[in-house]
Structure 1
């Protein structure tokens, strides 16, 4: 059965066309395993039956008379979606190679790469899909079915929450365009439109312990650590006398707007964005965290999801195209962030995954995307940067140093007032 493309699907294809290579609008994850890689046939034997339980994966892109749609591929074969790479000496080399891999348009827009070597005696599997074909939540749910425990339930609803009536008076200010950014050094160099990844890893126990001392959630902490890392990356830019004059950076955070009754929960892009101001210019870590706590307030994000769901339901494609230019303009929103969670433990043939790293999309002109993904008891952070961005390889170290500084500050009681405020909100 054919499924019409949603407006976000079509806009994602438009964004992809702005890139030098279509692969910049692919998303997914690299999953690493210890030991020797299996033969291709063994991977196919594992994936084939599971792919058969996910009918959305058999849909390809079609367009007749200007009516784009997803339609079942009559020649669909999982074997056509399994690719191989020799790999490299480390995960960063592997990620750089994966980011360049195409997804042929004559078949459903997803693929799995068997990576023979990923450094340190490891091999990998990488799932990637076009952002028009799937959003991040759908890609995560697909991974859980393909590499999670056998018999895991099929996802029925990937919505942020069931829709509720929109309180427009509270939401309309959120739709105002952000102010222009002119002070971030990362925007000074024309983008190369080729990308490199850097990774950071942390035990989630550290974040939970820090959350108890600060009253913050893990996503709030991750945003605060990202703001701190960006501040440390360009330390001369954020003071009152610097080019930023104490201001911050606007980031786009994805929020799900999929209808809970969607009969194809793994097909199409159903993610809008919430603007988040990263307070890089605030020198006080406690105040940075407090501001981000408000930005990631559940009520605020839920209202935004409801509003975007209503707007997108009736948004004409031509109006969406007009709004697209500002929404992806790096001069107003220079980076993206994503919070992803894998709730089913991933593995292959009895071997548990040793690491799972997000490979997010890159918006044209935006120099940086930061995505964190939790799996089992680890949080894996991906910094995906345009290659023209000088010094981006230092971001993982800056992120980890910021985490250590927050832990020291929490031990010294610097966040006590925040923790009390958070406890009071939770009790009310």
Structure 2
């Protein structure tokens, strides 16, 4: 298979090399119902499924200024599956947080799976972790589908790409892509709402998460003329208003909108099961100071609409052929909070997942923190639920549970748009009970 080098892959490798404390690893915690298997059973399932995503046997590396994908000599998938038994008194949360930033050897494909058990008699966890230079969010979802999906396998493409045309970069980039890049540079000058925590960041992360029924997002979106992803973002804006202490916002910041950096997947159908990055990003304002949820949803839907068009996707896709030094500059800018919060679009895992006959009940995303970002947020739809996960600096964990606030905001919007048929109303107190879906907490 031929792997087309990607400038985003190279940028993450370079950033890690130049920032020794930067660990661009992100992952997925799968909560599995059943008695923990022997690690050899996990290794055998993974090994038997590798052919469903053969790109997992390749590694990304750099030689001089060139970013390359190359086959790994003597690749053995068994070596990428590990086991951790949680000691008495420790929790799954603490164990995952400890695993988040373990270094990955550059000599092999940068992904791994950890079987985590010992914390429950009726449940265990599988933690899939990858280097961002090797996979974007969609590639991670495809990896889970390949290794743990219960549906018949989807045939991977016979070739993952072709060498780029031998032209100068400015000859390969349409004028609209260059214009788009310049427009993004100008927009980046419009600083997002910033705040000042009362103390320094710890540079240690923990994960908060909460789940809501997927039907709530879909029904609210239909009622408001928006997508489920728009509802996720609107709920994030609402949750941030409840989470962010007023004392942290300087007077001159009031009225300034809060932006998020929203990744846009640029994968074509034939690029499924490819490793590497096929993403760009757009900045989206959350209408932070808007009191009306209906108005906030409408504003966000207008802001995200251009990113959903094929014309915009073509323009963003051509950015992947810009020179690496320019894309690296954009990546460096994104490390500054002034350019917006880190979030993901609503990622979806199709079908169901299982380890052997044990069903995987919930999937939670873990992110990396870089630059001066204090947290990042992700949304993933799996089965009947959507899980919002917040990877947050430990220095801020006592401020409040942002994931739970997000779930409460989704439920309020659903009640107003669907249950109350568009009429504003007070959500019953019982809706915030932890036993109800709107406040359902996952382990991390």
Cα distance change on mapping 1:328 and 1:69 into 2, 3 Å: same
User: Which residue does 1:404 correspond to in 2?
Assistant: 411
Any idea what the Cα deviations from partners look like across 1:262-312, whole Å, max 9, x if unmatched? 5x8422112111111112111221111111111222665543321121122
Match in the other structure for 2:290: 282
Indicate if the aligned counterparts of 2:25 and 2:130 stay in contact, CA closer than 8 A: yes
Deviations 1:216-251 (A, max 9, x none): 321111101111000111263799x95532332111
Displacement, 1:90? 4.7
Contact 2:349 2:380 in 1 (8 A): yes
In structure 2, C-alpha distance between the alignment counterparts of 1:2 and 1:183, rounded to whole Å: 43
Q: For 2:251 and 2:61, how far apart are their aligned partners in 1?
A: 51
Gaps of 5+ in 2: 162-173, 425-444
Q: Would the aligned equivalents of 1:385 and 1:392 in 2 still touch at CA under 8 Å?
A: no
8 A Cα contact 2:28 2:364, kept in partner: yes
The Cα of 1:93 is off from its aligned counterpart by: 2.6
1:92 equivalent to 2:93? Answer: yes
Displacement of 1:2 in angstroms is 6.6
Who is 2:265 aligned against?
A: 256
Q: Normalising by the residue count of structure 2, what TM-score does the alignment of the two structures yield?
A: 0.82
Matched-pair contact (CA < 8 Å) for 1:81–1:112: yes
Q: Mapping of 1:26-425 within 5 angstroms?
A: 26-87=25-86, 90-119=91-120, 121-149=122-150, 151-156=152-157, 171=180, 173-179=183-189, 181=191, 183-185=193-195, 189-234=199-244, 236=246, 244-258=253-267, 260-262=269-271, 265-297=273-305, 300=308, 302-313=310-321, 315-391=322-398, 393-410=400-417, 411-414=419-422
Aligned residues: 408
C-alpha separation between the residues in 2 aligned to 1:405 and 1:2? 49
Q: 1:219 to 1:186 in 2, by over 3 A?
A: farther
Runs of 4+ that moved beyond 6 A: none
**How far 1:377 moved relative to its partner?**
0.4
Structure 1: 5+ residue runs without aligned partners?
160-164, 417-428
TM-score, normalising length from structure 1? 0.85
The 10-residue stretch of structure 1 (4-13 or 126-135) with the greater mean CA deviation from structure 2? 4-13
SS in structure 2 opposite 1:52? helix
Name the CA distance, whole Å, in 2 between partners of 1:229 and 1:25. Answer: 26
**Deviation of the 1:99 alpha carbon:** 1.1
Which is further off, 80-89 or 227-236? 80-89
Report the Cα distance in structure 1 between the residues aligned to 2:56 and 2:73, rounded to whole angstroms.
12
